[in-house]
Amino acid sequence: MDKVRVRFAPSPTGALHIGGVRTALYNYLFARQNGGKLIFRIEDTDSTRFVPGAEEYIIESFRWLGIKFDEGVSFGGPHGPYRQSERREIYKEYVDQLLKAGKAYIAFDTPEELEAKRSTTPNFQYDASTRMSMRNSLTLAADEVQRLIDSGHLYVVRFLIQPGEDVHVDDIIRGDVTINSSILDDKVLWKSADQLPTYHLANIVDDHLMEITHVIRGEEWLPSAPLHVLLYRAFGWADSMPRFAHLPLLLKPDGKGKLSKRDGDRLGFPVFPLEWHDPKSGEVSSGYRESGYLPEAVINFLALLGWNPGGDQEILSMEQLIEKFDLTKCSKSGARFDYVKGQWFNREYLLQKPDSEWAPQLVAILAQNGIQTSEERAAQVVAMMKMKVIEYQTNDGLKKRNVSFISDLWPLCRFFFVAPTSFNREDKFIRKNWNGDAAALMSEMHDLLSSVTTWDISHLKAVIDPWVENSGCRPWNVWRVCLVGEGQGPDMNELAQFLGKEETLRRMKFAIDTLK
């Protein structure tokens, strides 16, 4: 294969949608697999929709996700500028070329006139059937056209489409897609309002000039792909035309239609990689990063939405994704966005993280909840919650607690730092264990522990284990009521050691007095 060159070319109209992230990811995987280049181009030809900060947001998003570009805005490269608004003169040249060749024409119809036409004529379309009754360089005399231009009349340039031809698009994912040119309208190539090209023109010119070999983009572009093929031909670039691959869309988790920002708000999951502050509305949208997702998890989850390497393995690193990626194995139908599975991916990656990464983050989470503690203490908590210190426990304790995000830890480890202040007598665990002689049992244990002089795990085990042996496992659970206040937490000896003698006895006394 020739040197692969692909691009991701967003419009800076707001935050980067998660679907766009997946499109960029597929481009990245494809480029890396083939030793090619990924180009980052900004398609800001709609001056009315420009949103300040969006470009920086997009760049930061990809930096966080680990998707690296080889050329483009902020990355440099030999094909710049990579911002379309800075390429006006280039496009102008190519539009003139089409005009001279008679493959495009000038049209003076105003937006108002066109709107009027559309409202009065059913299914009105600016094409072969109507263009000869409109005000354009095809119907007006040459000197009249010149006079209108000279007198400052605004005009657009339209692409002259010859009707009645079956235009074929060879799509890598969908195979041959055919559309008859008669249903295409004479697309505007050059806008009068902002004196910039439309997407279609700029896109084709840039892809050609930037030597793009493969266009991997969303399915919403499939209907205009034939138009793009026609443009390549009109410029005489048919031989070097890129190959197309139109990706299936990401759909709402429920209901109908494609995934939107609203779905995230409604169902409580982020649709943007990073938190986004809309500069116009002031609205804040949550991001995957701020919600506690790991970039690797987001990448893995997204990669498998619309593509699957076959086989049973689902946890795949970026390197593995690069190795296995295959455009021809992309699915053709839209994929519902299953954010619950996204959470599962995050858990899998989170639990792979070494303890050294957990402790500082736990300190931060605790601080957010008003608990000041050292990293050393936090590390002890993490170790206990992972149940690593306990010889009989072989499974991952954190996984057992269904922790998908670091922030899930807080409600689960609160009791390490905050003593129970009341007991819910309706609680199943308390009702089951705190009954009969519970208070007497704990009083006995309280006295037993009071006599322990060296408060460490081995001494505690030496004193407590034999005592508990006599009465089955019930004392453990009764003791748990005292120290935790509910039916969760780590090994009791470990917990007692962590709390210290004074705190342990204090909590027991409180429980005995309160529950009786």
Q: Which residues are catalytic?
A: 261
Tell me if 263 contacts RNA by CB under 7 A: no
Token digits for 400? 């057992």
Contact 55, 279 (CB under 8 A): no
Q: Which of 477, 501, 509, 515 binds RNA (CB under 7 A)?
A: 477
Residue span binding RNA (CB under 7 A) among the ranges 28-36, 237-245, 391-399, 442-450: 391-399
Measured CA distances, 219 to 171, 245, 254, 504 (Å): 11, 9, 20, 62
H or E stretch covering 320: helix 318-324
Between CA 422 and CA 407 the distance in angstroms is 24
Distance CA 354, CA 343 (A): 19
Amino acid at 175: G
Q: Is 14 in the site for RNA (CB under 7 A)?
A: no
Q: How far apart are CA 227 and CA 184, in angstroms?
A: 7
Residues between 325 and 354 that touch RNA (CB under 7 A): 329, 331-336, 338, 340-341, 344
Of 315, 316, 216, 305, give the one whose Cα is nearest residue 259.
305
Determine if 266 is a binding residue for RNA (CB under 7 A): no
Q: What x/- string results for residues 171 through 200 when contact with RNA is judged by CB under 7 A? A: ---xx-xxxx--x-x--x--xxxx-x-xx-
Q: Which range, of 75-83, 87-95, 445-453, 473-481, touches RNA by CB under 7 A? A: 473-481
Rule CB under 7 A: which of 30-49 touch RNA? 43, 45-46, 49
Residues in the chain, overall count = 516
402 binds RNA (CB under 7 A): yes
- Count of residues of this chain found to bind RNA when the rule CB under 7 A is applied: 88
Asked if 63 is part of the footprint of RNA (rule: CB under 7 A), the reply reads no
Binding track, positions 429-448, relative to RNA; x by CB under 7 A: x-------------------
**Segment lying near RNA (by CB under 7 A), choices 10-18, 95-103, 363-371, 447-455:** 10-18
Indicate whether 481 belongs to the interface with RNA (CB under 7 A): no
Least spacing, CB of residue 278 vs RNA, in Å: 17
Q: Which of 66, 111, 236, 279 binds RNA (CB under 7 A)?
A: 111
Candidate residues 60, 291, 314, 441; the one interacting with RNA per rule CB under 7 A: 314
List the one residue out of 183, 123, 194, 134 whose CA is nearest residue 158.
134
414 φψ region: left (φ > 0), alpha (ψ -120 to 50), beta (else): alpha
Please give the C-alpha separations between residue 117 and each of 32, 138, 320, in angstroms, as whole numbers.
49, 18, 55
What's the CA angle centered on 184, arms 179 and 186, to 5 degrees?
150
Buried b / exposed e over 442-466, threshold 16 CB at 10 Å, is: beebbeebeebeeeeeeebeebbee
120 interacts with RNA by CB under 7 A: no
Residue with tokens 């031909």: 233
| Residue 281 CB neighbour total at 10 angstroms | 7
> Quick one: which of 64, 410, 423, 476 contacts RNA (CB under 7 A)?
476
Of the residues 33, 85, 285, 308, which one makes contact with RNA according to CB under 7 A: 308
Q: Which stretch binds RNA (CB under 7 A): 60-68, 95-103, 470-478, 502-510?
A: 470-478
Contact status: 310 vs RNA (CB under 7 A): yes
455 binds RNA (CB under 7 A): no
Query: What part of residues 201-230 is at the interface with RNA (CB under 7 A)?
Result: 219-224
